[in-house]
Structure 1
């Protein structure tokens, strides 16, 4: 090697060189071999272990500054947001949304009618051909529209059909309902009719009405993409459910009718049209939290016209405990003397 030639290796390369010195195989790198071969030192392995320790120390000390280049102020803000993201976000508890902007949609219907895929469409996800029984039955989507924050909880209560008290609690705490049947399954239509009757009776009992309450529900006849000669007709739906129901023929696969169904749900719940998936942009949860906090810092969420409509999914959202739902139910059923009424779950 030329005496004036400078020899450079990256740290990882040097580490590999020392590793090779500890192996019994011969050194094959031509430059390293010319530099090491003349020194037939019997303690080369122990020297190599020492060198490896030094190299490890150099590597760690070299890499540590790379992770701390940001300023202390921005780092503190980022850490604060990350801590918030480690738990489910409840805008009402955090004071970032008004009570009227927090809404719960309860989804009901027979098995295999496409409830999960319709829910996934609302959440902004694609259609999934494979079928699996619903395991994740609760979702939370957070919106930022016109300077206001909105929280929409979606509860798929279909799995509670064998637990009447549990299902009744879900019904009583629901604000609006999405009822789904399949156009190729008349039995699923009859199931929706029974659910409408159950919801109406439960709400009437809670509100102490003499007659069944009008159910704030949207009915979806799903699987409209399937061409079947024996499919359920619109006249059959009218005959089974009545003329006053809000009904859409939909397809979770190709999106037919879903936009109208989602807008009808928003109208029933007093939510903006921008809660429909095609009307807003999905962002990360951390970006959403940053947006809400910055809006509050500029005078509150009442300041309108800031930014396009956007939404974020809360990946840590879990169904509120039954104790929480019972407390909410008893609070809504309290009389003027603030004495809780009897529980209507049973």
Structure 2
């Protein structure tokens, strides 16, 4: 065998080994992005390392449930300790309520929707009421697209904390945009979709009245609303999230009672059912009630919280976006672009 033949053989062997390694990495990634959970009916989910769509997969079914970047949103739940933040999230995701209290450090949830043929992804960050990590709380302010601030109707201190949280969110976003762009601080604050939730409205002893909360909200911009709820009685929980999605220009079908909750059978390749063929869908012939009935959503189990590096990249892009588009940041739905394994705003 001459020297040229040896070189040719070595190059072919190297190419084959690289291809096999690449294929192996792809298989491992696919194994991570599709997880089956025997609980809750064995819902199969798509797990990602970022707040946006999961990495591309060779599985056509997995690609079918990956939302487009423009349909990825992050909701942050804030408030004092013991006001019912986690109970509201549990009601929203599964209609459940737990009597016992367990302090929350930080919980991350993801819900996928199919609404009028499009996939939407909602990431929910349930934060701690004790704020053990101020830097992480500030990061949640900057990476959040819409906010639920919870207080208790029987505790004036929690209402005052809710007001402080709203002001801190707006101030943090404005200061970050000013520092990033090098511009002077704008006189008007950005409009951030936000709902003040007065929980525990079933309590007889109230130290906060609905009139004074509404009076405060009336002094704010149109992106802030107030809803009194009771997670224990499941009173107006759906209304709180519905109002939030309305002011955020998101599909109203994302609210709990406006779509069908799907529990995929164990071993199913997709968390959501396949979309109907386009020739079978005639939106202009469907009534509003029928359109809502076609919407469905599923909570993805075992989803991982995005890395701090991903959140920092999101924060940087969002603060630049705030500086580039003064005025109303709520005029259009959230826009994302792909970055590594996640998405950031564009």
Instruction: Check conservation: 2:105, 2:127, Cα contact below 8 A.
Output: no
What is the CA–CA distance in structure 2 between the aligned matches of 1:196 and 1:153, rounded to whole Å? 20
What is the CA–CA distance in structure 1 between the aligned matches of 2:252 and 2:135, rounded to whole Å? 34
What is the CA–CA distance in structure 1 between the aligned matches of 2:256 and 2:316, rounded to whole Å? 34
What is the CA–CA distance in structure 2 between the aligned matches of 1:317 and 1:329, rounded to whole Å? 21
Instruction: Tell me what 2:212 maps to.
Output: 236
* Unmatched runs of 5 consecutive residues or more in structure 1: 1-79, 337-346
Q: CA deviation at 1:291?
A: 4.4
- Equivalent pairs counted in the alignment come to 253
Secondary structure of 1:139 counterpart: strand
Q: CA deviation at 1:89?
A: 3.0
**Structure 1 or 2: more helix by fraction:** 1
Q: 1:232 to 1:288 in 2, by over 3 A?
A: farther
Instruction: Tell me what 1:260 maps to.
Output: 239
Q: CA deviation at 1:207?
A: 3.1
What is the CA–CA distance in structure 1 between the aligned matches of 2:230 and 2:295, rounded to whole Å? 25
Match of 1:198 among 168, 172, 193: 168
What is the CA–CA distance in structure 2 between the aligned matches of 1:256 and 1:288, rounded to whole Å? 36
What is the CA–CA distance in structure 2 between the aligned matches of 1:332 and 1:261, rounded to whole Å? 25
Q: 1:279 to 1:162 in 2, by over 3 A?
A: same
Instruction: Check conservation: 1:107, 1:158, Cα contact below 8 A.
Output: no
What is the CA–CA distance in structure 2 between the aligned matches of 1:97 and 1:314, rounded to whole Å? 13
Instruction: Tell me what 1:316 maps to.
Output: 302
Instruction: Tell me what 1:137 maps to.
Output: 107
CA offsets, 1:135-180, max 9 Å, x none? 5611111111111111101101225712211111111000000000
**Structure 1 or 2: more strand by fraction:** 2
Q: CA deviation at 1:115?
A: 0.7
Match of 1:218 among 195, 207, 212: 195
CA offsets, 1:208-253, max 9 Å, x none? 351333332100001011111x431123324555533300111111
What is the CA–CA distance in structure 2 between the aligned matches of 1:122 and 1:303, rounded to whole Å? 30
Instruction: Check conservation: 1:106, 1:174, Cα contact below 8 A.
Output: yes
Identify which range, 111-120 or 96-105, moves more after superposition: 96-105
TM-score normalized by the length of structure 2: 0.65
Identify which range, 249-258 or 91-100, moves more after superposition: 91-100
TM-score normalized by the length of structure 1: 0.65
Residue 104 (str. 1) matches residue 74 (str. 2): yes
Instruction: Tell me what 2:53 maps to.
Output: 92
What is the CA–CA distance in structure 2 between the aligned matches of 1:288 and 1:205, rounded to whole Å? 45
Instruction: Check conservation: 2:201, 2:229, Cα contact below 8 A.
Output: yes
Larger radius of gyration: 1
RMSD: 3.1
Instruction: Check conservation: 1:196, 1:215, Cα contact below 8 A.
Output: no
What is the CA–CA distance in structure 2 between the aligned matches of 1:235 and 1:118, rounded to whole Å? 22
Q: CA deviation at 1:116?
A: 0.8
What is the CA–CA distance in structure 2 between the aligned matches of 1:328 and 1:266, rounded to whole Å? 21
Match of 1:126 among 96, 101, 110: 96
What is the CA–CA distance in structure 2 between the aligned matches of 1:184 and 1:243, rounded to whole Å? 23
What is the CA–CA distance in structure 2 between the aligned matches of 1:288 and 1:113, rounded to whole Å? 38
Q: 1:185 to 1:299 in 2, by over 3 A?
A: same
What is the CA–CA distance in structure 1 between the aligned matches of 2:304 and 2:159, rounded to whole Å? 30
Q: Structure 1 segments of 4 or more deviating over 6 A?
A: 80-83, 302-307
Instruction: Check conservation: 1:176, 1:268, Cα contact below 8 A.
Output: no
Secondary structure of 2:294 counterpart: coil
Q: CA deviation at 1:276?
A: 1.3
Instruction: Tell me what 1:163 maps to.
Output: 133
Q: CA deviation at 1:85?
A: 2.1
Instruction: Tell me what 1:343 maps to.
Output: none
Q: 1:290 to 1:200 in 2, by over 3 A?
A: closer
Higher relative contact order (CA 8 A, sep 6+): 2
